[in-house]
């Protein structure tokens, strides 16, 4: 799974290779402890423009589908199993037309030990951005007026797959990693064979996973109120 991640730089500095056209000025700042239900930056292609506009937008972590009666449903949907997307009504529509990329510096995972859990920080060895595959949704709050700028909630989920290699020794799931080329194809709203793109991304993720480094970090990361560069220092 992926329950915490790091954005150590301003998000706009992480997405140069993705050729973003528009950057929302309200993006959150750097964070070393992004948790579910908090706001992070995502990249998406807006199909409402022609040609589609690639945007970097702030979004809440935890997917809220358009049909939801209460946005609290997002607390249970911060991750989605990539191999089950096409069978789950909550994710099927977003898979077809609302795919996102979550730019990060790295993420945390906890290893189960006999006497508790040990947090690890997992990141690219060369400190390049780590792109995670995601889905997004827009939810309209019926309690707010049509002209209220807060009426629309943009939310997202991060996809996961079976973990392999060194990452598999920490946890049985890992995020669905994307290199720059796969990220570009993943965002393309004109893609017709979405299942093929998803399968290819799942198959390619292990090669990228093998390039990542892991290190044990302080248990302080377990408290969502803690947010400082010291969280990614070796324990």
Q: What is the pLDDT of residue 12?
A: 82
Which pLDDT value is given to residue 148? Answer: 84
| pLDDT the model gives residue 16 | 85
C-alpha 125, offset from chain centre? 19
Q: Which helix (H) or strand (E) holds 99?
A: strand 99-104
Q: Are the C-beta atoms of residues 14 and 103 closer than 8 Å to each other?
A: yes
Res 146: pLDDT:
84
Residue 191 to residue 52: CA distance in whole angstroms: 12
Cis amide prior to 135 (ω within 30 degrees)? no
Known active-site residue 2: yes
pTM of the model as a whole: 0.95
Instruction: Catalytic residue, from 2, 50, 210, 213: name it.
Output: 2
Mean pLDDT by 10 residues, the chain (235 residues): 91 86 94 97 85 92 94 94 92 93 97 95 95 96 84 96 95 95 89 87 92 97 97 96
Give catalytic status of residue 86 as yes or no: no
* Residue for token pair 């995502």: 42
Which of the residues 50, 83, 86, 109 is marked catalytic? 109
Q: CB under 8 Å to 50, separation ≥6 — which residues?
A: none
Angle, CA 38 vertex, CA 33 and CA 42 arms, to 5°? 90
């Amino acid at each position: 799974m992926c329950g915490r991640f790091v954005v150590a730089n301003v998000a706009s500095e992480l997405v140069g290779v993705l050729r973003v056209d528009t950057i929302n000025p309200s993006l959150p700042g750097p964070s070393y402890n992004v948790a579910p239900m908090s706001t992070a930056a995502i990249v998406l292609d807006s199909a409402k423009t022609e040609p589609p506009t690639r945007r970097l937008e702030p979004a809440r972590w935890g997917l809220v589908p358009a049909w939801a009666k209460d946005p609290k449903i997002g607390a249970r949907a911060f991750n989605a199993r990539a191999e089950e997307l096409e069978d789950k009504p909550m994710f099927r529509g977003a898979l077809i037309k609302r795919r996102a990329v979550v730019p990060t510096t790295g993420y945390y995972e906890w290893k189960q030990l006999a006497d508790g859990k040990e947090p690890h920080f997992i990141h690219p060895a060369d400190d390049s951005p780590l792109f995670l595959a995601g889905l997004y949704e827009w939810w309209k709050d019926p309690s707010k007026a049509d002209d209220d700028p807060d009426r629309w909630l943009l939310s997202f989920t991060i996809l996961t797959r079976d973990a392999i290699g060194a990452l598999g020794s920490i946890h049985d799931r890992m995020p669905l990693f994307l290199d720059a080329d796969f990220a570009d194809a993943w965002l393309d709203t004109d893609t017709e064979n979405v299942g093929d793109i998803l399968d290819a991304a799942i198959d390619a993720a292990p090669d990228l996973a093998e390039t990542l480094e892991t290190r044990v970090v302080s248990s302080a990361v377990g408290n969502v109120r803690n947010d400082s560069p010291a969280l990614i220092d070796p324990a």
